[in-house]
Structure 1
Amino acid sequence: MLERKFPIGIQTFSEIIRGKYIYIDKTDLVWNLAHYSKFVFLSRPRRFGKSLLASTLESYFLGNKEFFQGLKILDLEKDWTCYPTFRFDLSGAKHMPVQGVKDELNLLLAPYEKIYGRNPEEVTPGMRLAGIIDRAYEQTGKQVAVIIDEYDAPLLDVLHDDQRLHDIREMMQEFYQRLKKQEGKVKFCFITGITKFSQLSIFSTINNLTNITMQPEFSTLCGITDEELTTVLTPYIEQFAACDQLTTEEMHKKLKLQYDGYHFSEDSPGVYNPFSLLKALQQCKLYNYWFESGTPTFLIRQLKYFNTNITEMDNLEVPASAFDQPTENMKNALPLLYQSGYLSIKDYNRESMLYTLSIPNQEVRVGFTDGLLPAYTGLLGSDVQAGFAAKFWLALKRKDINSAMCEMQSYMARIPYIEGFKKKLSDAATAEGFYEYTLYLIFSMLNVYVQTQVKCAGGRIDMVVEMSDTVYVFELKTNGTVKDALLQIDNRSYAIPYQTSNKAIIKVGVLFDKKTRTVKEWAVE
């Protein structure tokens, strides 16, 4: 058993170093960040190491050279000056009214006032912040560093509550505007969160705030690259592989499919979700660790608020303005899906200047679907996975589509008696569209790559399911016959785009019975 400990849940840089936990050295990027611009903003998904980055910056500006021994930053930093450093973690201000957020800010300010003093005339959080900066500068003769982690935590749950959003935003503005007024006394200010709120609405006075979220040179600042995995963490891949009786290469491939695939600029290498990857290596188990705390409720609310068609979330071709935009200005859920890590950059066409966004990996595909299934169909993911999933998957693997569809028919025959499903079906615009949603979610939970309404020269294919050696082309009907469905696949050349894939192509026509609300019959070619 390997002796190094995994820093699961540990977000304090000094504790990781003192405790001799595994640490992926990104301190050269930290140094570059600290010297890149005075006011810096970075957006990254949850559990992606933002808090550890904030803590590392804190240790750097405090001049704690002893924590950086043997790390890359020692070749870059020569002075190691100790600056007054203030770090504010706003994650404790979630789900709070305005007064609660104000109280949280005051609690965060209090420890620094014990060090540098307080003027009783400073009554607002912004006034108190300005006072701390003033006194720290006067007492030390040095500029200060300000680090704000999870700045958007108080705002995410009130996106569509105009009054609460306005009130909290106004209070936060009062806090942040002091940073601009104290600019001459600020050495460095770093603000991080999940989403991007309008600079005009939140940081209106910090007019020189540099957003590095999509800067290529900082694209691997959070997360673990493939190179870092296969160098620093190779012994743990080998250990995991031995547990599962696989080769190291086979285990590496599994980890890559499960946790890799995040790209934060058009030219960036892929990065792994660090929390899930380290947890998998620690536990020697592939699992959707990112979703252990569940799919964020604010995201589900936004998807439903914008009436999001979840079957169209994959392989989207869009300009940067469609997803890299302030959250409170969004006209659909795409910016939130991207900024929260449920979609990532897959490709970039320099000629058209369009980005292709897709679900980054299997963990997100399956875990997200598990969260969406109750909201969109009234079904529970556990109901899908128990019994039915394994049988259906094995039938698909052996190309026995008839057995697979029998399992589907049997399973869906029980669905209409689930009250939530009946309500969702009655609310759906069309029965055919609703079953398309349901099949999309079920296939996604089975770790199967699925697309719906796929554009091709002959029109739109209802559903395409891709496996390692087989492509299934589905046409779904609630009227007509299964022969009509197969004829449509042929007449509109739905299968032609997949003929060069070197995979077997199986065409499936499916007819749903609107009365029994299940699969009535199917035909296969």
Structure 2
Amino acid sequence: MKALPYGISDFPRIRCEDYYYVDKSRFIEMLERQPPYLFLIRPRRFGKSLFLAMLEAYYSIDYAGRFEELFGELYIGQHPTKRHNSYMVLRFNFSEVSSKLEFVDRSFCEYCCMVMKNFILKYEHLLGSGIWEVVNPDETNPEQMLAALKEYVSRTDCPRIYLLIDEYDNFTNTILSSYGQERYREKTHGEGLIRGFFNNVKASTSNAGAAVERLFITGVSPITMDDVTSGFNIGTNISMLPQFNDIIGFSEDEVREMITYYKDENALPADVTVDELVELMKPWYDNYCFSEDSLEERMFNSDMTLYFLNNYLQLGKVPKMMVDNNIRTDYSKLRHLIQIDKTFGVNASVIQQIVAEGSITVQIATSFPAEKMTDTENFKSLLFYFGMLSIQGVYRGTPVLGIPNLTVREQLYTYLVEAYSKASIFNVDISHFSSLVMEMAYDGKWESVFRFFARELERQSAIREFIDGEAHVKGFLLAYLGLTQGYVLFPEHESSKGYADFYMMPDLLHQPDIAYSYIVEVKYAKRDASEEDIASLKKEAAEQLVRYAADEKVLRTKGGTKLELITLVFKGWELIIAEKL
């Protein structure tokens, strides 16, 4: 039985050691029909490195003798292009560069020069010994070394170079998040080493007989490329083209095919169907879309999919933690990159709006410098590139972005709670709050949860100026409830059927003995609202609760729990009604 390649991005190893491989080789044909210098942005842990490793094995001359072994059974092996195994491949992975400020220059120089020296040694039989007369093997400046290499290649008849750069912005993003914009600017602007290096990359593609004939760069945002090249004007950004929506990650069909393979190998419990596993995974790992022209084609995060299946194959049940710790670590880095305004500024409010309302609209920016990344429209675009938001539709010609899945929602809840705390606006004892939620889940003591939360709203005066509408109260509640265990929260905006605010679906996969499930409707009245206004809100809440209680999803997922329908009415920051229907 094929092993799952969880955590492996070595394409030859996957093919030779008989790991399961989701064939993405058909995109090679499509890429060759594009301009020769390409740029692809995708979220972290989506399979970019494996894709570049496949390109290296396909195009590099030194893999020519292994073409059948590596590609024979794949699409491109059956439909090879003329360019296969015809290049010298120079591949950089900038995640290997140190992001510690005191070491970054030296690490960048040492790494780049090492990669280029190894490239020359590997292809010396094609380059000729004269290469060492032009390129100093002891060179420590990567800009100079690349300049010498491209000059030599461009005036000889040796094969051209296919340049691959993986995670081009990895260490610069870390510098930006850890040390701030000024230090980041020192490394990416003016006479900085990184800018000089990319200037030579550009030069390598532009002269007659250019040394670099093809180029493929991957990253998680367009910021660094905009900064080091004054806009990505050396290539074509294919990130949002509809034909490349599924170039990275797994489609639902690919996930089903993988699960079916292991089902046929009797590696899964006999009573578990493919449909059941897909339905388990979809809310957590699916629903990424990178092109407004591919709305029907939603992608699974490949790392998270493999994490789940790897655990399931070993244990015969869902993993205890549905979110891979590696994903949590990566999202933590992204949260620090998106600097939180100490005064809970407009961009923190953007996060709150997304959590409460489910979506925002924005014309996605294709490039912007780091100094403008906190501009609201750029900030929204950055959330899209990082995978925290995904395209859900189009409204009046503008893309609608929403939270793709539960994994991302958990990260946004964490972000929002951190923002409240850092801005000294609101801070709740999560440990105590979680214990109250457990009593709610097992003993039906729901009122103490919301009364405690309401008391905190009253006690912490700094929060009051932010409570100017129902969405804010709801946003606070969702953020904090989302960080407790026992329930999976499904806000109403996911259904768009005029239901109550959120369904607290019992997490029966991990806590099968939970006794209660809840649907909650939050209503907000202004401080001067009349008794008639309050009565009207209460009546409206009851109607929405009853409607949601009859929803097929609720009936299917509540299991044997007792479903309680809760109305909360806030008047200003005061909870004046908390009752069960």
Pairwise TM-score range, normalised by the shorter structure: 0.7 to 0.9
Given that 1:43 and 1:194 are in contact with CA atoms closer than 8 Å, whether structure 2 keeps it comes out as yes
Distance 1:164 1:102 in 2: 16
Paired position in structure 1 for 2:289: 263
Residue matched to 1:52 = 50
- Which aligned pairs between 1:45-444 and structure 2 lie closer than 5 A? 45-63=43-61, 64=63, 65=67, 66-79=69-82, 80-93=84-97, 95-97=99-101, 100-114=104-118, 115=121, 117=132, 118-119=135-136, 124-136=141-153, 141-159=158-176, 161-170=180-189, 171=192, 172-183=194-205, 184-197=210-223, 200-204=226-230, 207-236=233-262, 242=269, 246-268=272-294, 269-284=297-312, 285-286=318-319, 287-289=322-324, 291-293=327-329, 295-300=331-336, 302=338, 304-305=340-341, 306=345, 307-309=347-349, 310-313=351-354, 315-321=358-364, 324-326=366-368, 328=370, 329-330=372-373, 331-332=375-376, 333-349=379-395, 352-370=396-414, 372-377=416-421, 378-379=427-428, 386-393=434-441, 403-409=445-451, 426=462, 429-430=465-466, 436-444=474-482
Change (3 A) 1:482 1:73: farther
When residues 426 and 297 of structure 1 are mapped into structure 2, their CA distance, relative to the original with a 3 A threshold, is farther
Shift of 1:44: 0.5
How far residue 303 of structure 1 moved from its aligned partner, in angstroms, is 5.2
Confirm or deny: 8 A CA contact 2:538 2:567 kept in the other structure. Answer: no
CA 1:431–1:208 in structure 2 vs 1: closer, same or farther (change >3 Å)?
A: closer
What is the identity, as a one-letter code, of the residue corresponding to 1:522?
Answer: A
Cα distance change of structure 1 residues 325 and 200 upon mapping to structure 2, 3 Å threshold? closer
Alignment correspondent of 2:17: 19
Question: 1:279-320: CA deviations, max 9, x gaps?
Answer: 101101241115342632342452513541232115434242
> In structure 2, what residue type is equivalent to 1:356?
V
Shift of 1:367: 4.0
**CA positional deviation for 1:110:** 1.8
Q: TM-score, normalised by structure 2?
A: 0.74
Of 3, 7, 10, the match for 2:8: 10
Aligned-partner Cα distance in 2 for 1:145–1:98: 32
Q: What is the Cα-based RMSD across aligned positions, in Å? A: 4.0
Contact kept, 8 Å, 1:39 with 1:188, in 2: the verdict is: yes
The corresponding residue for 1:489 is 537
Cα displacement (A) at 1:482: 11
User: Letter of the aligned partner of 2:465 in structure 1?
Assistant: A
Counterpart secondary structure, 1:202: helix
The whole-number CA distance in structure 2 between the counterparts of 1:240 and 1:394 is 34
Q: Which residue of 2 aligns with 1:509?
A: 568
- Structure 1 residues 371-380 or 324-333, which shifts more? 371-380
Indicate conservation of the 8 Å contact 1:295/1:371, yes or no: no
Q: Distance in 2 between matches of 1:6 and 1:90?
A: 26
Number of aligned pairs? Answer: 498
The aligned residue for residue 40 of structure 2 is 42
Give deviations 1:137-157, integer Å, cap 9, x for gaps: 566611101111111123224
Distance 1:312 1:288 in 2: 24
Instruction: State the Cα distance separating 1:167 from its structure 2 match.
Output: 1.6
CA distance in 2, matches of 1:90, 1:488: 59
Residues of 1 paired with 2:335 and 2:464: CA distance? 21
Moved more, 128-137 or 214-223: 128-137
CA drift at 1:344: 0.4
Unaligned ranges ≥5, structure 2: 122-130, 313-317, 422-426, 506-516, 555-563
Q: Percent identity?
A: 20
Aligned 8 A contact 1:300 1:372 in 2:
no
Q: Structure 1: how far apart are the matches of 2:39 and 2:543?
A: 46
The Cα offsets for residues 195-227 of structure 1, whole Å up to 9 and x where unpaired, read as: 112755322386241001101111101100001
Residue 253 (structure 1) shift: 0.9
Shift of 1:14: 1.3
Which whole-Å deviations, capped at 9, do the CAs of 1:406-434 have from their partners, x for residues lacking one?
A: 34435777x79xxxx988x6466346777
Unaligned runs of 5+ in 1: none
For residue 579 of structure 2, what is the amino acid of its counterpart? Answer: A
C-alpha contact 1:311 1:451 (8 A) present in aligned 2 = no
TM-score by structure 1 length?
Answer: 0.81
Task: Determine the C-alpha separation between the residues in 2 that align with 1:13 and 1:382.
Answer: 44
Query: Which residue does the alignment assign to 2:124?
Result: none
Instruction: Provide closer, same or farther for how the CA distance between residues 367 and 199 of structure 1 changes in structure 2, counting only shifts above 3 A.
Output: closer
Deviates more, 1:36-45 or 1:131-140: 131-140
- Change in Cα spacing, 1:148 to 1:142, as seen in structure 2 (3 Å) is same
**AA at the equivalent of 1:124:** N
